[in-house]
Structure 1
Amino acid sequence: MVAPRDDPGRVLGAARGRARSDDGHLVFTPAEAGDPLGGRDAPDRNRRPGSRALEREAARLEDAGAVVDEITTWIAATDETPLSALDFDDLRARHETLAAHRERCAGLVRQRQAFLGSATSRGGEIGVSHRSLIPSVYRDFPVDHPLLATVARVDRTCAECQRAVRSHLVVRG
């Protein structure tokens, strides 16, 4: 699954202060986010919002990764049986399972959008907007939102599989 870099400590290197990217969005640096690795053992109230935001991002990626892995494992396992070898009831069950997987993908997208619209804060401090944090975390990735791109690919694969199953259902129906 896509993760914010291999080492969260690299996300916020030695630079200090707040900077703006070429498109005018804020780019977070260690001074803003705190030390994401060094504060792990500290009580939650002593860590900076940026550090907590990165931890929340990692947790969201892990949760979404589990769902994506489950769906793609199911697709790989069921792809071993040709559709022509399935009876009508098995085809219908496969179609329903694919529909459920697509709904799970839609749920991941809704959760992701809600997360991006939220912020992590501490007490009276100004919070770290997750939408503003994302460009800094994923600036070296080929896409701006790798989790959303991954979920879209999985959903597209489920839709293609569903169309193939539906074609077999129509022929046999």
Structure 2
Amino acid sequence: MIVLDIPASASRRLRRYVRDRPLALCLDLDGVRRLIGRWDSHETESGLLARTMALEMARVHLLGGHIQRGPTVCEVVLMDSKANAVARFQARGEAVVLAVHHREAVQMVAGSKGLARMYDRLLAVLAERPRATVVHTRFGETETAYQGVLAAITAPGRPRARRTSTSAPSGRRPG
């Protein structure tokens, strides 16, 4: 699972998907970006580098046979209304646990106005991604969002992945 989202969209809490699946991989581009020295003073370059690194990490993971039965590519976008997304973003700054992460996000998106512009860009991208599934989220409804993501990635008719390893986990046949 590669997490691409706007700040405060609930994706951090959806990492449960990975926690519940042995050897699954969650690539949070913000987390990868933070591993790059002085990323915050080289935002564009560090963002592009983080994306390239995440894609390579995903490639290595898949070639290593660490793939869950399910879609090879599934585009899922977590979305709330623009007004709610901005309100959630602002409220997140009051949470002590998220203070550092929030300061970084504020810097990257240039505050609430920047987040609103980012939201509009995401809508434009969605218009070009007809296979993307939008999971509508609401503040405090993490379980509902999680179930929406599960439904989106396990929906019938999605392309199925093939296992690249020669042996299957016990109790499962290679796909």
TM-score of the two chains, using structure 1 as the length reference: 0.28
Q: Per residue, is there more helix in 1 or in 2?
A: 1
Report which of the two structures shows the higher radius of gyration computed on alpha carbons. 1
TM-score of the two chains, using structure 2 as the length reference: 0.27
Q: Which gives a bigger RCO, structure 1 or 2 (Cα 8 Å, sep 6+)? A: 2
